[in-house]
Amino acid sequence: MDQFEKLLEDNGFKGEIDMSEKSLETYSHDASLFEIKPQMIVFPKDSDDVKKIVSLVADNKHKIKDLSLTARSAGTCMSGGAVNDSIIMDFNRHFTNIENVTDKSARAQPGVFFRDFYEETRKNLVFMPSYPASRNLCTIGGMVANNAGGERSLEFGKTENFVEELKVVFSDGNEYVVRPLNKIQLVKKMAQKDFEGELYRKTFDLCEKHYDSIKSAKPNVSKNSMGYNLWDVWDRETGIFDLCKLIVGSQGTLGFVTDIKFRMVPIMPNSGLLVLFLKDIDDLGEIIPKVLESKPSTFESFDDATLKLAIRFMPSFLKTLGLKKFLHLLISLMPDGLQLLRGVPKLVLMVEFNGATPQIVREKIHNLHQELGKHRARYEINGFEEDPTYYKSEKFWILRHESFNLLRSKVKDKHTAPFIDDFVVNPEYLTEFLPKMRKIITKYKLLATVAGHMGDGNFHIIPLMKLDDLKERAKLLPAMKEVDNLVLEYKGSLSGEHNDGLVRGPWLKDMYGATVLGYFKKVKEIFDKDNIFNPHKKSDADWDYSFSHIRDNF
């Protein structure tokens, strides 16, 4: 790598280069269960720096076979998308400008934390709603790379629905603007005698030649982050060709995003929460359709393991929330504690409604409450931010959001192993599916919480495991196979939000079949024939490689 460092310096690279052992160790991990030591870390100052690095890697790939690049910002990816035996390009140091915000759109760089982006956009009473549970830690670049969703995806969909324009550095080392094109614009673009023209020409040919096969391959679920979203690129009926749909969710395997323009939606000033405590999940068959008919903004859940964990580690919330919020949480949970004397519920369901006025929210919640009252439903009406009753409903969101952090930090002899953490099954199957899933968890003696987006059928099951124990590690593959087969039996997706990465990429063939995997491989070849961007992910993922890089030490 000394040779490549000199190449960067000789070619006017303005950013920083770090090859210290401490940094290489830090960047060998993200929020997944994998560990891969990178070759070096670079911090580009601007798009010119990104273009220089990409060009140098492309030009020298034939001399240095293992030369490659992996993009990273906050490192919160749970599928291993941000770790590699590459040069890691960190966008979180310099690509942090929020460039323009209006009531319709907002433009910013990929290293911007979502929390800062949200605070800036809310000044205009708008926001981008596809944020994940890690919204206080993640960056908008990572959200684009993974096609992030979250609790509001039931109402708004995922990140792909909000990306209006991207700037991307492709493998030729040039930066391009990518946006939806109509047929006239597409024909003009494909007529270009350059790298960009070739990208559009070959991608269109692939989509058009296999149009019906590609369209039918789209998973019939509410959300999906597996593979490349080829089915949404070209639409004959509208005549729209949109490469943004391919870049979003590609985990930096097709090029590096340097700038993002998002569509904004208005912030609703009032919200209210209906909470249901279920002792028997058989009731889901009746509850889910009624809830979805009422068109809530969110429909979330967490299980009895999450609730017991929260009670067990209640003092930990003091550090997380601060004294004021902790006292509100403690006091507000007392009535629920009395309810728990009648038995811990198997599931806690949270149905939230937003509206322009308190009356609109109140009516929506009251009507659903009347229908679902026999299921021990209770409700709270609260304002968007600092209404005096805000903490009444906030306690449930805290329990929902903090379960993963509690698992990771409080059970000292085991560590979070997110390997069956993001599947999607259509809600009508859940009364059959969830008991079968529970049997698998019990069979392998996995300590795990079950939480997720009930309205989407998207669940996050994150076991605690002692992965330095070979017997525990040996459970990963068979347990994963059983879970994946069960999900696919119910025509689901193996990932709704967290993407393929190292953990699910090897199962793309199982989910889509050899023909569609072949289309994915063709996409990679069109955009990155020398495989310089984030290898071992998407179409060239391999379980033997992934398994060999599971962490030994946490």
278-311 pLDDT, tens digit per residue, is 877 888 888 999 999 999 999 988 888 777 776 6
- Mean pLDDT of the 272-283 span: 82
H/E/C letters for each residue in 73-138? Answer: CCCCCCCCCCCCCCEEEECCCCCCCEEEECCCEEEECCCCEHHHHHHHHHHHCEECCCCCCCCCCC
Above 50 in pLDDT, residue 381? no
DSSP string, 229-254: -GGGTEETTTTEE-THHHHTTSTTSS
Residue 77 has pLDDT above 80, yes or no: yes
Among residues 501, 302, 510, the alpha carbon closest in space to that of 407 is found at: 302
pLDDT at res. 405: 61
Lowest mean pLDDT among 186-200, 316-330, 431-445, 455-469: 316-330
Measured from the Cβ of residue 326, the count of other Cβ atoms closer than 10 Å reads 18
Task: Indicate if the pLDDT at residue 552 is higher than 90.
Answer: no
Residue extents of the structural domains in the chain? 2-90, 98-266
Q: Is the pLDDT of residue 412 over 70?
A: no
The answer to whether residue 332 scores a pLDDT higher than 80 is no
User: What pLDDT shows up at residue 447?
Assistant: 84
Query: CA 488, 142, 230, 295 torsion: positive or negative?
Result: positive
CA distance 162 to 130: 8
Q: Which residue would you say has higher pLDDT here, 361 or 166?
A: 166
Distance CA 542, CA 480 (A): 15
Q: Which two tokens stand for residue 73?
A: 């910002």
Indicate if the pLDDT at residue 337 is higher than 60. Answer: no
Q: Are 428 and 420 in contact (CB under 8 A)?
A: no
What pLDDT is attached to residue 388? 28
SS3 525: helix
pLDDT band of 347, cuts 50, 70, 90: confident
Tokens of 506: 């090897």
Banded model confidence at residue 195, pLDDT cuts 50, 70, 90: very high
**DSSP state letter for 192:** -
Asked if residue 491 lies in contact with residue 426, where contact means CB atoms within 8 angstroms, the answer is: yes
Per the CB < 8 A criterion, the answer to whether 430 and 457 are in contact is yes
Rounded CA separation 523/228 (Å) = 8
Contact 149, 158 (CB under 8 A): yes
Q: What is the pLDDT of residues 418-429, one digit of tens each?
A: 999 999 999 999
Residue in the block written with tokens 């079968």:
436
385: pLDDT strictly greater than 80: no
Half-sphere exposure of 296 (CA within 13 A, CB side): 30
Residue 345 C-alpha from the chain's centroid: 28
Flag the least confident range among 215-224, 232-241, 316-325, 335-344.
335-344
pLDDT at 382: 39
Task: Name the token pair of 37.
Answer: 């030591």
Q: Does domain 98-266 have CATH number 2.30.110.10?
A: no
Residue whose tokens read 């052992």: 21
- Determine contact, residues 124/78, Cβ cutoff 8 Å: no
Question: Closest by alpha carbon to 397, among 365, 351, 361, 366?
Answer: 351
Interval 344-373 mean pLDDT: 87
Rounded Cα distance between 356 and 354, Å, is: 7
Residue for token pair 């009395």:
338
How far is it, in rounded angstroms, from Cα 467 to Cα 551?
A: 7
With a pLDDT cut of 70, the percent of the chain lying above it is 86
| Number of other CB atoms surrounding residue 414 within 10 Å | 17
End-to-end C-alpha distance for the chain, whole angstroms: 27
Residue in the structure block whose two tokens are 């409080």: 410
Q: Which CATH number is 2-90's, of 3.30.43.10, 3.40.50.170, 1.10.3720.10, 3.40.50.300?
A: 3.30.43.10
Mean pLDDT of 183-191: 98
Report in angstroms the alpha-carbon separations of 120 from 166, 260, 383, 506. Answer: 20, 15, 20, 39
Amino acid at 518: G
Torsion of CA 29, 32, 35, 37, to 10 degrees: -40
Angle of CA points 484, 34, 138, to nearest 5°:
90
Share of the chain above pLDDT 90, in %: 68
Q: What is the mean pLDDT of residues 88-105?
A: 98
Please state the rounded mean pLDDT for residues 410-435: 85
State residue 92's pLDDT score.
Answer: 98
Q: What is the pLDDT of residue 315?
A: 67
Higher pLDDT, 396 or 14: 14
Q: Who has greater pLDDT, 554 or 187?
A: 187
> Is residue 468's pLDDT more than 70?
yes
Amino acid found at 511: M
- Is residue 113 scored above 80 in pLDDT? yes
Least confident of 251-255, 330-334, 416-420, 440-444: 330-334
How far, in Å, are 93, 154, 221, 245, 398 from residue 456 at the CA level? 35, 6, 8, 21, 20
Q: What is the mean pLDDT of residues 141-163?
A: 96
Mind listing the pLDDT tens digit for each residue in 485-497?
999 999 999 999 9
CA nearest to 287, candidates 348, 344, 224: 348
Assess whether pLDDT exceeds 60 at residue 335: no
pTM > 0.85: yes or no? yes
Give the pair of three-digit tokens for residue 54.
């990409």
pLDDT on residue 348: 82
pLDDT bucket at 370, cuts 50 / 70 / 90: confident
| Range in 218-222, 395-399, 507-511, 546-550 with the lowest mean pLDDT | 395-399
Which residues make Cβ contacts (< 8 Å) with residue 388, sequence separation at least 6? none
Q: What is the dihedral of CA 218, 220, 223, 227, to 10 degrees?
A: -30
Q: Are 461 and 450 in contact, with CB atoms under 8 Å apart?
A: yes
For residues 156-171, b (16+ Cβ closer than 10 Å) or e, as one string? bebbbbbbbbbbbbbb
Q: DSSP E strands: which ranges in 408-473? A: 415-416, 420-424, 447-453, 458-465
Question: Which stretches of 322-389 are DSSP H helices?
Answer: 323-340, 358-372
pLDDT higher at 1 or 478: 478
User: Which comes out higher in pLDDT, residue 159 or 308?
Assistant: 159
Range of lowest pLDDT (143-157, 396-410, 477-491): 396-410
Contact 164, 139 (CB under 8 A): no
- For range 370-379, the mean pLDDT: 71
**Predicted confidence (pLDDT) at residue 35 exceeds the cutoff of 50:** yes
Share the mean pLDDT of the chain: 89
| Residue-wise pLDDT tens digits, 530-540 | 999 999 999 99
Residue 403 has pLDDT above 80, yes or no: no
